[in-house]
Amino acid sequence: MTARVLIVDDLLPNIKLLEARLSAEYFDVVSATNGPEALALCRDGRCDIVLLDVMMPGMDGFEVCTRLKSDPATMHLPVVMVTALDQPADRVRGLECGADDFLTKPVDELALIARVRSLTRLKIMLDELRARANTSANLGLSSRETNDGARGRILLVEDRPSSADRIVASMRDLHNIEIENHPQDALFRAAENNYELVIVSLNLTDFDALRLCSQLRSLERTRSVPILLLADVEDRPRILRGLDLGVNDYIVRPIDRNELIARVRTQLRRKRYADSLRDNVQAAIELAVVDALTGLNNRRFLETHLANALDQAAHKNRPLSLMILDIDHFKSVNDTYGHDAGDEVLKVFAQRIKRVLRGADLVCRLGGEEFVVVMPDTPLPVAARVAERVRAAVEGDKFPTDAAASRTIPVTTSIGLAERGDDANADALLRRADKALYASKAAGRNRVTAAAA
Rounded Cα distance, 335 and 331, in Å: 6
Which is catalytic among the residues 369, 370, 395, 419? 369
Partners of 297 in beta bridges = 290, 364
- Nearest Cα neighbor of 367 from 446, 445, 292 is 292
Amino acid at 178: E
- Nearest Cα neighbor of 312 from 320, 321, 300, 324 is 320
Rounded Cα distance, 156 and 170, in Å: 13
207 exposure class (CB count in 10 Å sphere: 0-12, 13-18, 19+)? middle
First and final C-alpha spacing in the chain? 56
Verify whether residue 196 is a known catalytic residue. no
Give me the active site residues, please: 369
